[in-house]
Structure 1
Amino acid sequence: MSSRVHVLTPPLPLRAFGVAALLAVAGAALTVTSSAARLPTVLTVMGWILLAGAVALCVVAANSWRRMRVRVELSDDGYVIDGPDAHEQGRWADVTKVTQTPTTLVIHHGPEHRVRLVSRRGVTAELIHLTGDLARRLDANRGYSTQL
């Protein structure tokens, strides 16, 4: 088997995009209304500030969504997990147990060390593929075979 990379992505920050849309509508309405009705310039400036805030919120939300991805590389010898705040690696020979809930995969290395992979989006196709690939590689390392 060769090395394979799985990427677990977080859910889209829909609430942030919704707030940004509301800010953009309010900013555009305030800017257009204050310009058309010849209201004080302060209102036009406030409208532009709301629009700039909406754009900034979209950029921050998209950037944080992209950075929160977790990259899992499985090879014949072991695994490497790179996330936004952690880097884990291990060898299949050191794995004592693997447990799974619908959204969490835990790789046990003895009684104390555990590596947790959590899918914040719930059960996804990528999590299912990752679990199957991990089981196949662990079986191959242990000498198990699915052939009769």
Structure 2
Amino acid sequence: MSSRLHVLTPPLPLRAVALAAVLAIVGAVLIVLTSALDLLAALAVVGWLLLAGAVALLVVAAMSWRRMRVVVEFTDGGYRINGPESHEEGSWADVTKVTQAPTSLTIHHGPDRRVRLVSPRGVTAEMVHLTADLAKRLDASRGYTGQL
């Protein structure tokens, strides 16, 4: 087997996108109405500020969504997990148990050390593939072939 990457992504920031859309529409309406009806220039400034705020909110939401990804790499010898604020790694020989809940996977290294992977989006195809790949690699590290 070779190395394999699995990427767990957080849910899309839909509230931030919706709020940015509302801000952009209100800002655009203020800008257009100010020009069309010869209203106070201050309303146009407010419109431009709302439009700029909408763009800034979209950029921040996209950056935070991208940064919150967790990359899991499985190799023949072990695993590496790189998240936004953590880095974990371990070898298959040190794994004593793996437990699974519907949205998480816990890799046990003896009685004291645990590495927990959480899928914030719930059960996803990537989490299913990750779990299957982990099981194959653990079996291979212990010499199991899967045949009876």
Classify the secondary structure of the residue corresponding to 1:107: strand
Which consecutive unaligned segments of at least 5 residues does structure 1 have? none
Name the residue aligned to 2:90: 90
**Any residues of structure 2 matched to 1:45-56 within 5 Å, and which?**
45-56=45-56
Q: TM-score of the superposition, structure 1-length normalised?
A: 0.98
Classify the secondary structure of the residue corresponding to 2:46: helix
Q: CA deviation at 1:111?
A: 1.1
Say whether 1:104 aligns with 2:104: yes
The one-letter code sitting in structure 1 at the alignment partner of 2:7 is V
The one-letter code sitting in structure 1 at the alignment partner of 2:115 is V
Name the residue aligned to 1:130: 130
Classify the secondary structure of the residue corresponding to 1:84: coil
Structure 2: distance between partners of 1:48 and 1:32: 11
The one-letter code sitting in structure 2 at the alignment partner of 1:96 is T
Name the residue aligned to 1:8: 8
Structure 1: distance between partners of 2:29 and 2:105: 48
Say whether 1:81 aligns with 2:78: no
The sequence identity of aligned pairs, in percent, is 70
Deviates more, 1:12-21 or 1:26-35: 26-35
Q: TM-score of the superposition, structure 2-length normalised?
A: 0.98
Structure 1: distance between partners of 2:118 and 2:13: 17
Structure 2: distance between partners of 1:37 and 1:114: 65
Q: Which runs of 4+ in 1 moved over 3 A?
A: none
The one-letter code sitting in structure 2 at the alignment partner of 1:60 is V
The one-letter code sitting in structure 2 at the alignment partner of 1:62 is A
Aligned residue pair count: 148
Q: CA deviation at 1:96?
A: 0.8
Q: CA deviation at 1:112?
A: 1.4
Q: CA deviation at 1:147?
A: 2.4
Once the two structures are superposed, residues 88-122 of structure 1 have per-residue CA deviations (whole angstroms, 9 ceiling, x without a partner) of 00000111110001110100111111111110111
**Any residues of structure 2 matched to 1:30-49 within 5 Å, and which?**
30-49=30-49
The one-letter code sitting in structure 2 at the alignment partner of 1:31 is I
Structure 1: distance between partners of 2:16 and 2:64: 11
Structure 2: distance between partners of 1:20 and 1:121: 22
**Any residues of structure 2 matched to 1:18-33 within 5 Å, and which?**
18-33=18-33
Structure 2: distance between partners of 1:122 and 1:63: 22
Structure 2: distance between partners of 1:45 and 1:35: 11
Classify the secondary structure of the residue corresponding to 1:26: helix
